[in-house]
Amino acid sequence: MKIGILPCQGACNVGVMTNKVALNLVDNETVNMVCPLGLPLGIKNIIDMANVNEKHIALNGCPVKCASKALESAGITEYKEITLTSDFDIPKNKNFKDETNIDNVEAKVKDVIDEFLSEQKG
């Protein structure tokens, strides 16, 4: 099974954290990074690469949910959504080095990955 993770990579602490978490979990065999900008721009190769994944995780920083919207713009409507501000009560700010609760975020994403993998086995 291939799982695509799409971090929002927004210009705030929670956006930057989504990218850090995704980078820590990408292994290019099971978990792949999906380009957050290429999907809504309609770049065919990036859309094709995203569609190779059987499951997707939209890793949003805030309630704007750019990662989810990017997936939907490419017709990918079935995905697991995680939003740092609401799911972990992390305040959004402009301190790009703020990693409040990043360990909990990473643990949650790992849980979702494990859930996807166990669905495949079951």
Is residue 121 in a domain?
A: no
pTM listed for this prediction: 0.96
pLDDT of residue 40: 96
Residues of the chain with pLDDT under 50: none
Euclidean distance between CA atoms 96 and 33, whole angstroms: 21
Instruction: Let me know how many helices (H) and strands (E) the chain has, helices first.
Output: 5, 4
If you search the block for the tokens 């602490």, which residue do you land on? 13
- Domain contains 118: no
Question: Which domain range does residue 66 map to?
Answer: 3-107
Number of domain units in the chain: 1
pLDDT at 78: 95
H or E element, residue 107: helix 102-121
The predicted structure's pLDDT at residue 120: 86
Query: What pLDDT does residue 28 have?
Result: 84
Instruction: With respect to residue 35, please indicate whether it lies within any of the assigned structural domains.
Output: yes
Q: How far apart are the first and last CA of the chain?
A: 13
| pLDDT at site 104 | 98
How confident is the model at residue 97, as a pLDDT? 97
